[in-house]
Amino acid sequence: MEMRADPNAATPPGGPTYASYLRLDELLACQTPLSDTHDELLFIVIHQASELWMKLCLHELTAARTAIAEDRLDTAFKMMARVARVQQQLIGSWETLATITPADYSAMRGKLGASSGFQSQQYRAMEFLMGNKNAAMIAVFDDAPHLQALLRDALAQPSIYDEALRALSRAGLPVPEDQLNRDVTQPYVASAGVEACWRTVYAAPERYWNLYELAEKLVDLEYRFQLWRFGHLKTVERVIGFKRGTGGTAGVPYLARVIDQVFFPELLTVRAVL
């Protein structure tokens, strides 16, 4: 999914400049408001910046998943810590977007057509990587076969939690075989056996320090992802109330249901039995 620099792009004779390296001419030409409203530029910039941050999250979490699979947990921790910082940027962006008033948004909304954040391929890829597998979401991209291909590949890959459970097993903990060999294209279902493994880790953090830290990094990842979702919910509620979303979703009620989706269930339920 990572975009590479165009090898055919002209390089200044003296080497890259700040503008040429960052391709600022192209980047700053990407904001093209469809209305004459003042706030549409903010709306575009926030969403474009969020897509760039999500690109970095996917880059880091994909590499972290590989590192976990190779038992290079310290390397994975660094990448996951970076994602936590990026998530703070994403969470904070809602406060800026919320400065758009209902009247301001209504003035531009008609120009947005059926476009919606629901159609963000990178957001869906992040959810798949985190473990919220839902093949039906790929149909949203029927008009973009190349994006569907990327998402089918993401659906077929183990989630970062799948790799964490395999790391538990390699460390000698009795992760149930049906969890280790499950169909990774399907949503993850909580397991009492997996919870018992995490309970062992939390009961003896000195013995299982790396696995204990892995668990806490995953909890932090989910915590911030949920704050991001909640910020989205409250911003939409503040700007459009309970109107339907531009992409045909139910708007606030849909976003409220999404918040109930949990990525790493046993890492939450184990806290009640420690």
- The CATH number of whichever domain residue 90 belongs to comes to 1.20.58.480
Residue 125 confidence (pLDDT): 97
Alpha-carbon separation of residue 20 from 2, 3, 10, 16 (angstroms): 19, 16, 9, 6
**CA–CA distance, 174 with 189 (Å, rounded to integer):** 17
The answer to the question of residue 3 being in a domain is: no
The answer to the question of residue 13 being in a domain is: no
- Compute the C-alpha angle 150/153/157, nearest 5°: 140
- CB–CB of 120/142 below 8 Å? no
Q: Which residues are annotated as a binding site for substrate?
A: 43-47, 105, 109, 246
Q: Which residues are annotated as a binding site for heme?
A: 232
The answer to the question of residue 7 being in a domain is: no
Per the structure, how many domains does the chain have? 1
Among 134, 2, 116, CA closest to 57: 2
DSSP, res 184:
T
The answer to the question of residue 212 being in a domain is: yes
Q: Which residues are annotated as a binding site?
A: 43-47, 105, 109, 232, 246
3-class DSSP state for residue 209? helix
Among 56, 197, 173, 195, CA closest to 126: 56
Amino acid at position 45, single letter: V
Residue 245 confidence (pLDDT): 57
- Which two three-digit tokens encode residue 47? 């969403």
Residue 102 confidence (pLDDT): 92
**CA–CA distance, 77 with 39 (Å, rounded to integer):** 39
Residue-number span of the structural domain to which 126 is assigned: 38-107+115-273
The answer to the question of residue 12 being in a domain is: no
What b/e readout covers 117-136, taking b as 16+ CB neighbours within 10 angstroms? Answer: bbbbbbbbbbbbbbbbbeee
- CB–CB of 270/202 below 8 Å? yes
DSSP, res 201:
H
The answer to the question of residue 21 being in a domain is: no
Q: Report, as ranges of residue numbers, the positions in the chain whose pLDDT lies below 50.
A: 1-3
- CB–CB of 178/188 below 8 Å? no
The answer to the question of residue 29 being in a domain is: no
Residue 259 confidence (pLDDT): 78
The answer to the question of residue 78 being in a domain is: yes
